[in-house]
Amino acid sequence: MTDEQLKAEVEAWLAANWRGTATHKESFGRDPRAEWLAKVRDAGWAVPRWPSDFYGRGLADEQARIVERAFAAVGAPGAGQDRSNLWANTALAHATPAFRREIVPQLLAGEVGMCLLYSEPGAGSDLAAIRTRADKVDGGWRVSGQKVWTSGAQIADYGMLIARTDWDVPKHRGISFFFLPMKQPGVEVRPLRQITNEAHFNEVFIDNAFVPEDNLLGPLNGGWGVLQTALAYERSVMGDAARGPRSGAAGPKGDHALIGLAREAGKLDDPVIRQQLAQTIAWRVLNRLNTQRAKAELQQGTSSSIMSLGKLAMSRILHEEARVRTLLLGVESLLEGAEHPRAEDANFLTLNAYFTSIGGGTDQIQRNIIGERVLGLPKEPEVDRTIPFREVRAG
């Protein structure tokens, strides 16, 4: 099929089927647009790069982008999930055939809610130090431990879980990766209040919960490699976009938001302000191009260190945009509440920028990854990397 034929087909399909308007959803939980997303999936537009026997069309990247642009032109969601759906991409690459057939269609349609069960109170930046355990029993595993900073756990149906299944090998080699059913006895979710006065994060206590044998992704004790795939897609999403103002009532959005705010504040002709606006907008454009490059290079089921560049850049962009917003507002930024939406948005974005600096691996961890895997600098010393995890000292 030529590019012109493909463009005509997808545009005709959208003209016949799309009647709605794009709506935002939280990253976790069941998608209220599931009925539409199921139609997109069944038509092969959700994951056009995937093979035809798994809801795709086997398109090359350039033709897949034709599909994505057609959807974007009419504001229709659902296309391009083969680059952005970390849950479905991880399952396609590593799930057992039986579980893959069951879960991937649901993930593409947003019919199940998901969360990430990675970090622990004593294992955040060093995820290989996890102590949540999964012990083999008949038909699966029994899991016990504690996870923290888990977004969406209170509404999730499954959690992508890393747990220790072998204590007698070095820390990276004794970890396995599971889809843990969340709605069961033995899984308790407690919300954590954030600096923005929201409670998206949770701590999760797991006491003898059951995970079926088919829900193991990748080989037993080979979960570290599966985790790298999942983290690459997560960092790709975080580097590509970020949460906007909470109120949604304070002027233009996207690249033009700061320009609009500067115009409202009467500071658009200030040369120093114009230079700072140009710098922050240039960072966004450059990061968008870098993220597109990284996604184009990312092969199904693999990881890419380049994704860390995008995530780190987005963190810097958000902090800088929040600083410029505050500069533009001046003393108005000291105000708070719904009756002051510009100040409300500036303060929220200032605080929420730390979400991107911490979630999906901190800025410091991204710098380590970039230094070691992109720039080829020496690795940081790890005295416990080669000894059995049972012998690792813990505070």
Q: Which CATH number belongs to the domain containing residue 303 in this structure?
A: 1.20.140.10
List CB contacts of 149: < 8 A, sequence separation 6 or more.
Answer: 119, 124, 192, 201, 203, 358, 359
pLDDT at 42: 97
- Measured CA to CA, the distance from residue 369 to residue 305 in angstroms comes to 7
Q: Is there a single domain that holds both residue 80 and residue 139?
A: no
Whether 163 contacts 132, CB under 8 Å: yes
* Domain-located, residue 95: no
Is 305 in the same domain as 335? yes
Q: Does residue 255 sit in the same domain as residue 362?
A: yes
Instruction: Determine phi and psi for 120, rounding to 5 degrees.
Output: -130, 165
**How confident is the prediction for the chain on average, in pLDDT?**
88
Q: How confident is the model at residue 193 (pLDDT cuts 50, 70, 90)?
A: confident
Q: Is residue 98 part of a domain?
A: no
Residues 246 and 361 in one domain: yes
Give the per-residue pLDDT at 68. 95
Domain-located, residue 91 = no
pLDDT above 80: residue 192: yes
91-109: average pLDDT: 96
Residues 293 and 364 in one domain: yes
Structure tokens that stand for 365 in this block: 């961890």
185 and 136 within one domain: yes
Residue 96 is assigned to a structural domain of this protein: no
When divided into structural domains, the chain yields a total of: 3
Residue 282's contacts (CB-CB under 8 Å, 6 or more residues apart) are: none
Least confident of 58-72, 79-93, 237-251, 368-382: 237-251
CB of 175 closer than 8 Å to CB of 227: yes
Q: Which one has a higher pLDDT value, 240 or 10?
A: 10
- Residue-wise pLDDT tens digits, 41-58: 999 999 999 999 999 999
SS3 state at 162: strand
We report the CATH number of the domain holding residue 169 as 2.40.110.10
Does 382 fall in a domain? no
One domain for residues 26 and 149: no
The residue-averaged pLDDT of 256-267 equals 88
Note whether residue 101 is domain-resident. no
Residues 292 and 167 in one domain: no
Question: Which amino acid makes up residue 95?
Answer: A
Average pLDDT over residues 209-224: 98
Q: Which helix (H) or strand (E) holds 235?
A: helix 223-240
CA 17 to CA 20: how far, in whole Å? Answer: 9
Q: Take residue 4 and report the two structure tokens written for it.
A: 């012109």
Question: Dihedral sign, CA of 60, 7, 51, 232?
Answer: positive
In a domain? residue 349:
yes
Tokens of 33: 């647009």
Does 247 lie in the same domain as 186?
no
Clarify whether residues 180 and 266 are in a common domain.
no
Indicate if 134 and 204 belong to the same structural domain: yes
pTM over 0.85: no
- CA–CA gap between residue 204 and residue 202 (Å, rounded): 6
Instruction: Say yes or no: 367 and 246 in one domain.
Output: yes
Question: Would 195 be classed as within a structural domain?
Answer: yes
Domain that holds residue 80: 3-84
